[in-house]
Amino acid sequence: MRSLNQLVDYHCHIDLYPDYKQIMRECDTDGVATLAVTTTPLAWERNIELASTTQNVRVALGLHPQLVADRAHEISLWNELLPKARFIGEVGLDASPRFYRSFEKQKDVFQHILRACSRSGDKILSVHSVRATKIVLDMIEKNLPETRGRAVLHWFTGTSKELRRAVELGCYFSINAAMLTSDKKTKLVAEVPLDRVLTETDGPFTQSGNRPSKPSDVSMIVNQLAKLHRIPEAEMISTITQNLQRLEE
């Protein structure tokens, strides 16, 4: 049973840390409700096995858009595992130059994922949307009604207008430290309604000092968000926890 007030890391690649078993244990000892996203469905069952001994780790079934060029065929395994998974991620679109050659294939895979989640119902998705926010929102609106599932926009980098549209579609936002590193980025984060805010590290792909971020480092993000909204840190933690409970209820 999760605590009513605890830290939340809603996007972390636990299986990509060298000491991933220790990181999972720390999610319990440090009291961090963590969503362990996967980049390929091949990793899901092993993650589930490891997480089965924890209280605070949930595992998401993913097929990362950056891997679609070489792994689109793994959608068949993703389909097989979907009935066992409530959490889906990392999924989405990446239109950055390095991955743009697979963009049409990415859209096919993401549309398939959204439609499959809609048919199944009650899925929660952690969604990647690099240089593709409008298309991601278009696809969510068309293929995943809020009554059939919920999307959490991971590391959101869209515009204010796109943010407002995402809110209207029922999306949540997982905020990491990299989203608070400039006035422009912080201003966008401040526009996220407090009742849609979650926190994430995206570890080990982000840094805390001279080491990869780990789930407990969300405490620093909570501190920054509390200052940004001019509320006590304890209230910020409570708000995020309530958001998580509402999302998963």
CATH 3.20.20.140 fits 7-248, yes or no: yes
Residue 2 clears pLDDT 60, i.e. is over it: no
Q: DSSP label at 187? A: H
The pLDDT mean for the chain works out to 97
Residue 189 CA to residue 194 CA, distance in Å, equals 10
Per-residue pLDDT tens over the stretch 150-167? 999 999 999 999 999 999
Q: What pLDDT shows up at residue 5?
A: 78
* pTM more than 0.85: yes
Residue 175 CA to residue 39 CA, distance in Å, equals 19
Mean pLDDT of 193-215: 97
Per-residue pLDDT tens over the stretch 11-26? 999 999 999 999 999 9
Residue 1 clears pLDDT 50, i.e. is over it: no
Mean pLDDT of 220-243: 98
Per-residue pLDDT tens over the stretch 37-93? 999 999 999 999 999 999 999 999 999 999 999 999 999 999 999 999 999 999 999
Contact 42, 228 (CB under 8 A): no
Residue 87 CA to residue 117 CA, distance in Å, equals 10
Residue 121 clears pLDDT 60, i.e. is over it: yes
**Cα–Cα nearest to 57, from 110, 108, 14:** 14
The confidence band for 117, taking pLDDT boundaries of 50, 70 and 90, is very high
Tokens 């395994």 sit on residue = 77
